[in-house]
Structure 1
C-alpha cells in the first residue's frame, strides 16, 4: 500500500512539473488576470519542446483557471515552430499605455493599457520565433513574430494554437460561413451537425463560474489571412485554423517575406460588463493612418432595399427615401444595387443631385466582383485602376460613401482587398461599409473611414427566409454579447412594417435596436410610411438618436434572454432594453452608471399590445432602480438628461 502511494505521488510530481520548464508569468495591471507560459520537453535529454499557455482570473480572493494549458505554435512551409521550441531570452515586462480617440464605436476616448512581455524562442534549426503577450485588465492578446529577414517568399501554412476549455463550459458559437451571417445558439457540448468549424467571435462561460471569455482576433494586415476555430478532434479544444483554398485562389495561409507578425489573437475576459464594454479589438490594432479625418461623419441612413429589393432601379423610389431622410433628420440615404440601370425619371447623377438639393448625402452600393457577380455594378472596384477611377468620379459628383458587397472568403487576397479599398477610398474622402464580408478585426481604428460591417444575420434576412421571424428576439439579445462587441454591425434595424416575412418583435423592441446595436452608419431599413406613421414620441426619438457614442455601459442581461445597454452622447444617456424571451419579462434598470445629481428620464416602452407604445417621464438619481415591464419579445428605450 505504501509503495502504491509513493508510485502515485511520483506520477503526480512528474505531471505537475511537466509544464514548469521555462515558466513565465504576466499579470494584468489590476492583477485580475494572470497568464502563465511554460514549455514541456519532448524528451528527457532535449531542451526543445512544446509551448503552452494558461490563463487564470481572480474571482473574489482566488485565481480560477479559465483557460487550462493550451498549446501554441506555428508552421511555415520551410520550418516548423511547434514541438521543437527552446526559450533563449525574454524581454523585461513593460507597460503599454496610450490614449486614442475613435470617431465611431462604443467609446470616443479609449485607453490601450496592458503589460507586455516578448518571449524569444528558436526551433531545432536555430530559426527565431518571438511570441508577444499582452495582458490587459479585460483580457489577453498574443501574436507570433518571425524576426529574421528574407527576400524570397515563405508560406505560413498552419498554427497549433488551441484554446482549451473545461468540459463544463457554456458556449455561444456561430457555425463558420465566410459571410458570418448566422446565429449564436447556446451549447454546453461544443458539438454541431456541421464541420465543427466556428467563426469569430466565440463566447464562453467557463466551468459554471461567472467568468466569460470572448475569443476573436485583431489587426489583420495585407500580410495575414483571417482565421476560424475548429474543434473537430476534441469538442473542448478550439484550434486556430486558416481558411481553405478557393477555386481561383489555391493558397493556404500567408505568403510573405520576413520579418512578419501574425494578427493578435484576442481573449476578452471577465464579467459580462467587461466583455460588452471592452475595446480590446481596437486597443491592439494599429493607430489611425489617415492624416485628416474631419470629413468622416457617422450618421443615420435611409435605406430602400429592405422594402424594395430592386428600388435603386427607380429614380422616384430614391427620391422618396431621400425625402424620408429629410423628414427624419438623417444625414444620409443609400442607393443600393442596380443603380447603374436606374430609370423612371432620372439616372444616378440625377438622384445624387436631387439629394444634394435637399441637403442629404448619398452612399452607393458596389459588388466587390469576387463572389456573386449577377448584381451590378460588379466590375468597378476589383482593380486599383478601376477603383481609383470610380472613386474619383464619386468624389466629383458628390457621393460620400460606398457599400461594397459579396466578398469571397477569408484568404490573404481578400484581406489585402479590404485594406486596399479602405486606403484608396480615404484618398477621395469616401467612407466605407463592408457587406457580405468578414467580421471586424480592428480596421476601424487604423482606417476610421470604415463605418460599419455586416457580418451578421440581420433584418435583411426577413427578405430571404421565414427563419428570423421566430428567432429574432433571442438573436437580438445575443448579439450585444457576441458580434457587436468586436465592431460596428450593419444589422439594418428598426422595422415596424413587414418585409417578405413578418417580424413578431414588438415595436418598442424594434425601436430599442437603435441604441442596443452600435453602427457608425445606422441603416434604418423600414419603408417611409413605417416611420411616418409612428406616434410623436418614438418618431422624435428616431430623429435624434445618435449613432456614435462617447461611452457605453452594460446595465444588465444574459445572452439570448435579455439585455440593457446605456450609451452616452454629450450630456445625455440613451438606454435600450430587449426582452429576448417569448414570454413577458421585467427588465431591471440599475442607474449606478450615472454621476451624482438629478436626472429627467423619458422612457418609451411596450404599450397594451406589441404594436403600441407607452411613454413615462420620471426623475431618477444614481443608484435608483427601475423595473420595466416588457411584453414577449418586447423592449424599451429611454433618454436621461441631468
Structure 2
C-alpha cells in the first residue's frame, strides 16, 4: 500500500524551488488532520481531530553519522494522498478481517548537504503512522548509516494528563534483569512530573487531552533492523521525544544507536486519536503498516494452557506435579501445559520425553520454558545458554519437534538494543522452522510482531501475575492493573498476563499466604478483557473440586481467537468493559461457533459500579449474565451467580459491577 517517491524527483523539484512550506493530509472521513511543515529549516507536524488540537508543533527528523536531518532542511513535494482500501486477515490479534480506507503519502526533505530523507505518512480514520526513509548519498557513497537519535516529537496541549509506565535504568532489579517493562503505571498524572527513574517512559503511552479526547503513542515494525525505543521525559514547549536504548542495557554489550543499510527505513511511530477510548481499544495500526517477514511453516492454532509455577512455584517443576497439570488440562479440554524453569535439572530430558508422551495420550501438548541468557543479566534459571546461540538453539528445537513440544516461553532479555531485537527475531525465525510457537517474558513490548512473525504468540512486558503471587500489595493492585491494560499495553499487542487465577489464596493448599482480592467473575472476565491467542487459564487440581462446576464449564469453552473487538465503557485503572466476537479459529477444545459475542467487565474501584451499557449486538435479546452477589457482613469472598438479563430494543442494559468484581454477558 505504501507509495515511494523518486528521490531524483525530489531533488529536481527542490532545485527548481517548487517546494511548499506545509502540506495537509486528512483521514478518509476528514476528521483527523495532519499538517506537516518546514519552518526555519526544521520539519514538524501537528494533529487535529474533530477541529480540536491533539498535538501541537512536534518535531520531525533524525541525526545520522553522515548528516543532520533535524535542522537546515528544505521540504520537497507531497506525493500520494488519495484514499485507498487496505485489506488483510489475521488469526492472532483482536480482529480477524481488517477492511478499512487509508491515505498514504510521502514528503521529501533535503538537508544542508543536499542529502535526502523521505517522510512516509499513513493515515486512517483514527490512526497516524510515520517513518523515515534514508537514501544513499552521492558524496562518499556510504552504503550504511548509524542513526544517533531521532528528534521525533509528541507535543501535547498543556491541559493533557498522562497514563504512563516509567522506563527503569539498566542492570537493576532482581539479578540485574531490568529493564523489562514491569514498572507501575501512574494514572491522571501531569506532564511536567519527572518520570520515576528519570529515563522516560516505555511504549505504549496514553494521554488524555483535557475533555477533547485520547491519544495513544507507540511504535511498530521493529525488527532486527532497529532498536526498540521509548519516550523521553516531558520538556515544556517540546513535549516528548523518541529516545533510544540506554548505553548500559544488555550488560553494556552492543550499541545503543541504530545501524541500517542504505537505502533503509526506520520503524513506524504510531498515534491513535479519538474523542473516546474506543479507537484506542480497537486500533489495528500496529499491524496495518507491517508485513510478514516469513511464511508460517504450519498452521498455528489458538489455544489455552495451564501453568503450575504461578502458585506452586519452582518446586512444582517435577515429573509428578506436571502429570497433575496435564490431567487438569485434559479435564478442561485445554491444549497445552507450560513446564517452567529448572525442568532440565529437576525433571531431566529423558523424563520430559516421557511427560510429552503421556501428555499426548491425553491430547495435551507441552510448552517449555527457556532462559534467553548468555550474558545479558544474572538470572540463574536453566536451561541457559541455548536460546542465545544459533547452533545450540537449532539442536534444541529439533529435539523439541521430535518429542512433540509445541511452543517455548523465553525469559529474561537484556533491553531494547538492536542486538537484543536481533535475538528476538532469531529465536522466532528458528522456532518457526521447527513448528514452535513463542511467548516472551521479562522482555520488551512487541511491535507488530503478530503479523511480522507468524509463530509469535504474545509477551509479558508488564507488571504481570507473578507479582500478585509474590506480595499482598500487588494482589490488592491486580484490579488496578487489569483495568489499565485494555487501554494501553494490550491495545497495541497480545498480552501474556499469566493466568486466569481461581485459587482463593496464593498457596498450594489454597488456605495460607495472602488472599486473592478479585472475585471469580473478575478472573473469568479477564479472559475476555485480555487478548492473547494462546491464553493461560491457571487452574490446579484442587480447583476441579473447589470451583463451582458451572464456572469450570464456562472456563472449558473460553475462546482465544476473535473476529472483532469493541470498547463498551471504561476509564484506565478504574473500570473496563470490552466486547469480543469469537472466531471459528478457536481450537477444538472450545465448543463455540463463530460470531458469538462475549462482554467482559472489571471494576477496580472500592464501590459498586452501576452502569448502563450500550450493547447493540444484543439488542432486544435475553442474554446470559454472570455477576457477583454483594458481600454479606463478614464475607471475605464474593459469591458468583449466573442468571439472565433482558437487553432493551435500543441495546441498553443496566448492570452493577461489585468492587474488585466482574461481569460477563454472552
Change in Cα spacing, 1:76 to 1:135, as seen in structure 2 (3 Å) is same
Partners of 2:449 and 2:456 within 8 A in 1:
yes
**Of the candidates 612, 618, 630, which is equivalent to residue 657 of structure 2?**
630
Give me the whole-angstrom Cα distance separating, in 2, the residues matched to 1:345 and 1:221: 33
3-state secondary structure, aligned to 2:201: strand
**Of the candidates 23, 41, 52, which is equivalent to residue 44 of structure 2?**
52
**Of the candidates 451, 458, 478, which is equivalent to residue 452 of structure 1?**
458
Give me the whole-angstrom Cα distance separating, in 2, the residues matched to 1:344 and 1:155: 45
Partners of 1:574 and 1:637 within 8 A in 2:
yes
Q: Deviations over 1:42-94 (max 9, x none)?
A: xxxxxxx0011000001xxxx11110111111011221100111113331324
Q: Deviations over 1:10-50 (max 9, x none)?
A: xxxxxxxxxx9611000001111000011112xxxxxxx00
Q: Deviations over 1:260-316 (max 9, x none)?
A: 11100000111211110111111112246315542x011110011111211453100
Partners of 2:297 and 2:432 within 8 A in 1:
no
Give me the whole-angstrom Cα distance separating, in 2, the residues matched to 1:217 and 1:479: 17
Q: Is 482-491 or 112-121 further displaced after alignment?
A: 112-121
Give me the whole-angstrom Cα distance separating, in 2, the residues matched to 1:110 and 1:311: 45
3-state secondary structure, aligned to 1:198: coil
Give me the whole-angstrom Cα distance separating, in 2, the residues matched to 1:503 and 1:391: 37
Change in Cα spacing, 1:249 to 1:524, as seen in structure 2 (3 Å) is same
Give me the whole-angstrom Cα distance separating, in 1, the residues matched to 2:415 and 2:477: 26
Give me the whole-angstrom Cα distance separating, in 1, the residues matched to 2:533 and 2:151: 36
Partners of 1:312 and 1:335 within 8 A in 2:
no
**1:470 corresponds to which residue?**
476
Give me the whole-angstrom Cα distance separating, in 2, the residues matched to 1:622 and 1:156: 57
Give me the whole-angstrom Cα distance separating, in 2, the residues matched to 1:571 and 1:140: 30
Change in Cα spacing, 1:311 to 1:526, as seen in structure 2 (3 Å) is farther
Partners of 2:502 and 2:538 within 8 A in 1:
no
Give me the whole-angstrom Cα distance separating, in 2, the residues matched to 1:235 and 1:519: 39
**May I ask how many residue pairs the two structures share in their alignment?**
605
Partners of 1:29 and 1:114 within 8 A in 2:
yes
**Of the candidates 162, 166, 169, which is equivalent to residue 171 of structure 1?**
162
Partners of 1:312 and 1:339 within 8 A in 2:
no
Note if 1:517 corresponds to 2:530: yes
Note if 1:117 corresponds to 2:128: no
Partners of 1:311 and 1:318 within 8 A in 2:
no
Alignment of 1:168-317 (within 5 A): 168-177=159-168, 178-190=179-191, 191=193, 192-209=195-212, 211-234=213-236, 237-246=239-248, 247-270=251-274, 271-287=276-292, 289-294=294-299, 296-311=300-315, 313-317=317-321
Note if 1:605 corresponds to 2:604: no
3-state secondary structure, aligned to 1:353: helix
Give me the whole-angstrom Cα distance separating, in 1, the residues matched to 2:350 and 2:547: 30
1:479, CA displacement in angstroms?
1.1
**2:486 corresponds to which residue?**
480
Alignment of 1:322-341 (within 5 A): 322-341=326-345
Give me the whole-angstrom Cα distance separating, in 2, the residues matched to 1:446 and 1:258: 22
Q: Deviations over 1:571-626 (max 9, x none)?
A: 311111001101111233221244x7x54411111124333111112444653322
**2:430 corresponds to which residue?**
424
Give me the whole-angstrom Cα distance separating, in 1, the residues matched to 2:662 and 2:359: 34
Give me the whole-angstrom Cα distance separating, in 2, the residues matched to 1:510 and 1:235: 43
**Of the candidates 71, 91, 101, which is equivalent to residue 103 of structure 1?**
91
**2:31 corresponds to which residue?**
32
Give me the whole-angstrom Cα distance separating, in 1, the residues matched to 2:440 and 2:196: 29
**2:550 corresponds to which residue?**
537
1:525, CA displacement in angstroms?
2.4
1:429, CA displacement in angstroms?
1.0
Alignment of 1:398-437 (within 5 A): 398-437=404-443
1:432, CA displacement in angstroms?
0.6
1:458, CA displacement in angstroms?
1.4
1:236, CA displacement in angstroms?
7.0
Partners of 1:161 and 1:239 within 8 A in 2:
yes
Change in Cα spacing, 1:69 to 1:334, as seen in structure 2 (3 Å) is same
Note if 1:157 corresponds to 2:157: no
Change in Cα spacing, 1:469 to 1:291, as seen in structure 2 (3 Å) is closer
Give me the whole-angstrom Cα distance separating, in 1, the residues matched to 2:467 and 2:265: 37
Partners of 2:155 and 2:237 within 8 A in 1:
no
Change in Cα spacing, 1:501 to 1:253, as seen in structure 2 (3 Å) is farther
Q: Is 454-463 or 322-331 further displaced after alignment?
A: 454-463
Give me the whole-angstrom Cα distance separating, in 2, the residues matched to 1:343 and 1:624: 54
Change in Cα spacing, 1:531 to 1:589, as seen in structure 2 (3 Å) is farther
3-state secondary structure, aligned to 2:562: coil
Structure 2 gap segments, 5+ residues each? 1-18, 169-178, 507-512, 583-593, 632-636
1:195, CA displacement in angstroms?
0.3
Normalization by structure 1: what TM-score?
Answer: 0.90
**2:601 corresponds to which residue?**
577
Partners of 1:593 and 1:622 within 8 A in 2:
no
Q: Deviations over 1:500-546 (max 9, x none)?
A: 54321122111111111111111122433235421122111100010
Partners of 1:195 and 1:232 within 8 A in 2:
no
**1:617 corresponds to which residue?**
644
Partners of 2:601 and 2:657 within 8 A in 1:
no
Partners of 2:229 and 2:242 within 8 A in 1:
yes
Q: Deviations over 1:229-268 (max 9, x none)?
A: 1125339711100001234324121122211111000001
4+ runs deviating over 3 angstroms: 149-153, 232-236, 343-346, 608-611, 618-622
**1:15 corresponds to which residue?**
none
3-state secondary structure, aligned to 2:312: coil
1:131, CA displacement in angstroms?
0.7
**2:12 corresponds to which residue?**
none
